[in-house]
Structure 1
Amino acid sequence: MNLRAVICDIYGTVLDVGPPPDAAEARWFALWREMLGRAPRLTLAEFGAGCEAVVAREHAAARAAGIAFPEVYWPEVVRAVVFEVAALDAAGQAEFAFRQTALWHTVQLMPGAAAALRGLRERGILLGIASNAQPYTLRELEEALAGAGASSAWFEPALCFWSFAHGFGKPSPHVIRLLTARLRATDVAPHETLMVGDRVDNDLAPARAQGWRTWRLGAGDGRDGGDWAQLAAALAVK
């Protein structure tokens, strides 16, 4: 492939999402004690139900305004359910939200991702992101990459789409169209761009509609899909 840019999904692509950690409820209790100075007013399950209600309400309002694929801003959702966090400063609220999320899932770097990304960068290929994500995603990504000797700084800020920052997300065609416009500003054409993702509906179909090439992570015969090592081999990345 003659490529000049690779845009990656995050969850299920760069980061593998696993089950909650052990003793999540006990950790929830400890988080409240440490950061809010009291026992939890809600169980972790009650907190989750409250968040689902807030998200559903926000999504309904956004759809009524004509936004087909709305996104929320997670810190605001947390504040709506755990009003006690409003007493924390901005850094404290971000820390609470990050540690709370870590009680719902675990993440680790996908095998071969760091090596493939490093090889692409060394070849001068621009790296970007198209992710339905939240502020905690950036920290999850940064920490996972750092643990493998890689860096989130390898991704061009102008080529990174984070849904929480825009109020909408994939599979909206606006996501790929926005990135296509930014790529053109750097003289990169759609056919010179590869979308790497694990979902056809969210990642690959919208990219193909804009003329991008695609690679389905985790599925395929190594020609237009497969794992990170197969992608590196297909692109002759050392």
Structure 2
Amino acid sequence: MNKLEDIILKNCPALAPLPTGAEAKLNRLNGVKAVLFDVYGTLFASGSGDVGTAAATDTAEALTQSLVVAGFEGELEQAGLIGKDMLKSEILEWHRAGHKAGADFPEVEITKVWKKMIDSLRHTQTLSTAETDFDQIRRLGLEYECRVNPVFPMPGCIETLRTLKERKLPLGIVSNAQYYTPLLFSAFFKQTVEEIGFDPECCVWSFKELKAKPSADLFPKAARYLEKNHGIQLSETVYVGNDMLNDIYTASQAGCKTILFAGDQRSLRLREDDERCKNLKPDAVITSLAQLPELV
């Protein structure tokens, strides 16, 4: 286990899902040959219900604490106060640039955002001007994420994944994510994403594509490798997620069957006011990951 995984375990205590009151619709889905998953709010309970960069989660105190433990020096309380606004501003600027470059839903590469914020704090002499290495930036980003958006495996997560692996169903991920997202699996389960049973080429992480769900551009990459590596079409694939827009709508538009995970009040997003979701129904609804294997 490396230092980043240690940070996850130290800062992410047990987080039980909150009941949603949703009714499970355990419809058996015929012809499913592969399963794709969302991560935040589906495989992992999340304090905000999404990856922190996509959620309105920021506090000066969390940033100050993160700067301290990551080894930065200077006026750290002041850096926390002004840095959180710099961080938000830089993410918005990144999104504007992404839109201008043609991305429908741009995603940030958060280490570059953190580096720019640190450079700005040094320019204003709020932080000391010592050179920052890449590992220190990665530690800072993860320390902050764990404070504003702690996560913990959903009940039944690893057991469900192992059951699907034993049945030799190809597994993949299409998720809004950052560099630390794949580390959640090795931190909590002591196995890499691939060792757990996911095909790495069928794992599409938003930060690598610089596009986030509900972008229509993420599922085609998963489709390409499902076809190339397994001879499976998206129409023979089910996608499991907790958000009716980002997950169910986007996956259904790509041609997947869909299962809504309605197991945690923090992350369940029904999007009832969104026109794209008003007449949209998933193929099944589960309130526990343990219900998934019996449907496929």
Range into which the TM-score falls when normalised by the shorter chain: 0.7 to 0.9
Measured after TM superposition, the shift of residue 167 of structure 1 is: 1.1
Q: Which moved more, 1:82-91 or 1:115-124?
A: 82-91
RMSD (Å) for aligned C-alpha atoms: 2.7
Instruction: Measure the CA separation in 2 of the matches of 1:26 and 1:176.
Output: 34
- Kept in 1: contact 2:62–2:147 (CA 8 A): no
The alignment partner of 1:46 has SS state of helix
1:98 and 2:159 matched: no
- 1:130-154 deviation digits (Å, cap 9, x = unpaired): 01111122223331333xxx54222
Aligned to 1:6: 35
Gaps of 5+ in 2: 1-29, 53-58, 123-128, 269-281
Deviation at 1:32, TM superposition (A): 2.2
Letter in 1 for 2:107: E
Q: How far apart, CA to CA, are the structure 1 residues paired with 2:144 and 2:78?
A: 13
Normalised to the residue count of structure 2, the TM-score between the two structures is: 0.70
Counterpart pick for 2:193 among 152, 157, 167: 152
2:112 equivalent to 1:76: yes
What is the letter of the counterpart of residue 176 of structure 1? F
How far has the Cα of 1:53 moved from its partner?
A: 0.4
Alignment of 1:201-212 (within 5 A): 201-212=245-256
Change (3 A) 1:59 1:164: same
Matched, 1:172 2:238: no
User: Residue 129 of structure 1: SS of its match in structure 2?
Assistant: strand
Amino acid at match of 1:197: G
| C-alpha distance 104-218 of structure 1, shift in aligned 2 (>3 A) | same
Confirm or deny that 1:88 pairs with 2:124. no
For residue 102 of structure 2, what is the aligned residue in structure 1?
Answer: 66
- The 5 Å alignment of 1:224-235 reads 224-226=284-286, 227-235=288-296
- Does structure 2 conserve the Cα–Cα contact (< 8 Å) formed by 1:32 and 1:39? no
Select 1:115's aligned residue among 141, 155, 159: 159
Q: Size of the alignment, in residue pairs? A: 229
> Where does structure 1 differ by over 6 angstroms across 4 or more consecutive aligned residues?
none
**Residue number in structure 1 paired with 2:13:** none
Matched residue, 2:85? 49
The farther-off stretch of 36-45 and 104-113 is 36-45
Q: CA deviation at 1:27?
A: 8.1
Q: Counterpart in 2 of 1:162?
A: 205
C-alpha contact 1:177 1:210 (8 A) present in aligned 2 = yes
1:9-37 deviation digits (Å, cap 9, x = unpaired) = 011111111269xx993783474265124
Q: 2:175 aligns with which of 126, 131, 147?
A: 131
Q: What TM-score does the superposition give when structure 1 sets the normalisation length? A: 0.85
User: Which structure dedicates a bigger proportion of its chain to helix?
Assistant: 1
For residue 89 of structure 1, report the CA deviation from its aligned partner.
Answer: 2.4
Task: Give the SS at the match of 1:69.
Answer: coil
Q: Percent of pairs identical after alignment?
A: 27
| Alpha-carbon offset, residue 50 of structure 1 | 1.4
Tell me the distance in 2 between the aligned counterparts of 1:27 and 1:54: 15
Q: Retained in 2: the 8 A contact 1:5–1:126? A: yes
- The answer to whether the Cα contact below 8 Å between 2:63 and 2:80 also exists between their aligned partners in 1 is no
